[in-house]
Structure 1
Amino acid sequence: MARHRGGGDLVHLLLMLLLAAALLLAPAAAETEAEVAPTAPAQGASEEPEAAAAQQQLLPRPLVIDLPSAAASELGGGDGSGDEFPPEVRCASWRLAAEANNLEPWGAVPAECAAHVRDYVTGTAYRSDLELVARESAAYARAAPLGGDGRDAWVFDVDETLLSNLPYYADHGYGLELFDHHKFDEWVERGEAPAIPSSLKLYKEVRELGFKIFLLTGRSEGHQAVTVDNLKKQGFHDWDKLILRAAADRKKTATTYKSEKRKEMEAEGYRILGNSGDQWSDLLGSSMSARSFKLPNPMYYIP
């Protein structure tokens, strides 16, 4: 009995200690709850927004930075019109898009870019670009594996590829004016187009390497005699074939006309390893060459 009574006293003592601890901790808990508890809503106010706000306080808030309004134009954002850029930058972008064939078919140089195009084609940048194309073309020609059977061909366009019409375009706004076939034909008949020096050098090297040379031009057959004379006077000799537009080809696009002529070359057993032209229509289409080289020309576009 004494042992049993002692066990009860021990349990009683433990209960008293737990009660005392609870009484001591209660004030501190109350203070903590008061500090974190939201302020009670005013009478008549909805408790739901306050509860939602209290819940949001438990989550990290997003970091929001308001950029100055000028930041968009500095980054090239704007409204997409390009007006935030100076004319010289816009015109350089237009010329790049024209060379990359990213523009819709166009008939004339934009008025604000007339001076830009003039300065480009009459300056050192145009000559440097032409020379780079010629160097890359020559490097490819030297490395190309020829079959040794006389069937490896290189196709050259004529205008703005072998011969330059800059003297004509100098009198017609360097592409600012819409193309006039009659005026251009009068210029062609004079037979005064100078050679593009880098193209003449390439032409001679390609010929010496053993390529068969085809001159494929958009000029009409009526200009054959003056074209031959002009080319020879400028140092172009010993091509294998000069192809001009026949009457049946007049209504065809340049892409279609030149594709058909290249197909005829292939039908005759020629392998077209290289093609040089200033227009994408000189290069694209069917029966394309193994490698094509686009010369710069921001003055006009021929589909």
Structure 2
Amino acid sequence: MMLMTNKMVRRAFAALMYLLMSSLAKVEAMMRRRRQRQSDNDNNDSYCLSWRLGVEANNVRSWRTVPLECYNHVQQYMTGGQYLQDMNLIVNQIVAYAFQITLSPDSMDAWILDVDDTCISNLSYYQGHRFGCDPFDSAKFKAWIMKGRCPANPAVLQLFKTLKERGFKVFLLTGRDQATLGKITIDNLHNQGFIGYERLILRTAEYKGQSAVRYKSAIRKEIEGQGYRIWGNVGDQWSDLQGDCLGTRTFKLPNPMYFIS
């Protein structure tokens, strides 16, 4: 009887040790997977930070969508506070520059602001399209614009008001189509506080099919041809800031969600 009891104890002990070792092995495997995921996330975040820097420096060009592995990075950047902080810093630099300028009494000192994702924001639209990871859909984007719900970028709205108070003539220049989007754009801008600009310029049939660089260059040339001096030019796309008649200084606002050539 004693021998049988000892055997049972040994078997129970062996079974317990087996369960313990098996559990430890599972925990170790789980920890390895967790460390691997953390390593992958760190590598992705490092890559995506470099990718976003390349975009803002105009070294990464002609991209169609945000890399899928950068979805979380761009989401966090756009909604976690860093985007707004970057906007505020850049606008502070613009304001400091504007106050260094001595305006002429002829009221021909001008400033150019882009509209989409400069004056007003399409962030709500892109939140529903994975922050630029989804391919651009012109019909869906137009439907969004037609709602007239684009909120103002607070820093740029304050910049707009400051420039007006300083005496600059502010031109709003956009690639939106004048025939189909003119009224809703005017209403949206006015509802968000952009009132008192010198002129809102939208794309007419004359410029249909032209690149943003060519179209906006032609408009700036017209403005200068009317005698205006363009002291500053602000946009979220490099195509806002390239070409001819750029103005004395250009300022690039951050936008890692889409690229317009």
- Give 1:33-48 correspondences, 5 Å limit: none
**Matched residue, 2:230:** 272
TM-score by length of 2: 0.83
User: Which letter does structure 2 place at the counterpart of 1:130?
Assistant: M
**Matched residue, 1:110:** 67
- CA–CA separation in structure 2 for the residues paired with 1:177 and 1:259: 30
- CA–CA separation in structure 2 for the residues paired with 1:276 and 1:179: 23
2:158 pairs with 1:208:
no
**Matched residue, 2:35:** none
RMSD: 1.1
**Matched residue, 1:295:** 253
**Matched residue, 2:15:** none
- Give 1:9-88 correspondences, 5 Å limit: 86-88=43-45
Percent identical: 49
Deviations 1:115-147 (A, max 9, x none): 111110011110000001110111111111212
SS of structure 2 residue aligned to 1:86: helix
TM-score by length of 1: 0.71
**Matched residue, 2:206:** 248
- CA–CA separation in structure 1 for the residues paired with 2:74 and 2:226: 41
Deviations 1:7-49 (A, max 9, x none): xxxxxxxxxxxxxxxxxxxxxxxxxxxxxxxxxxxxxxxxxxx
**Matched residue, 1:54:** none
Match of 1:282 among 214, 234, 240: 240
Q: Which runs of 5+ in 1 are unaligned?
A: 1-82
Higher helix share: 2
Higher relative contact order by CA 8 Å / sep ≥ 6: 1 or 2?
Answer: 2
- CA–CA separation in structure 1 for the residues paired with 2:235 and 2:92: 15
User: Which letter does structure 1 place at the counterpart of 2:118?
Assistant: T
2:215 pairs with 1:260:
no
User: Which letter does structure 1 place at the counterpart of 2:246?
Assistant: M
- Give 1:107-186 correspondences, 5 Å limit: 107-186=64-143
Deviations 1:72-96 (A, max 9, x none): xxxxxxxxxxx9x811000000000
SS of structure 2 residue aligned to 1:126: helix
2:156 pairs with 1:199:
yes
**Matched residue, 1:39:** none
Cα shift at 1:248: 2.3
Q: What is the aligned length? A: 220
User: Which letter does structure 2 place at the counterpart of 1:154?
Assistant: W
Structure (1 or 2) with the larger CA radius of gyration = 1
Q: Which runs of 5+ in 2 are unaligned?
A: 1-39
SS of structure 2 residue aligned to 1:153: strand
- CA–CA separation in structure 2 for the residues paired with 1:255 and 1:190: 27
Deviations 1:247-291 (A, max 9, x none): 221211101100000000011001000111000110111011101
User: Which letter does structure 2 place at the counterpart of 1:203?
Assistant: F
User: Which letter does structure 1 place at the counterpart of 2:137?
Assistant: D
- CA–CA separation in structure 1 for the residues paired with 2:157 and 2:61: 32
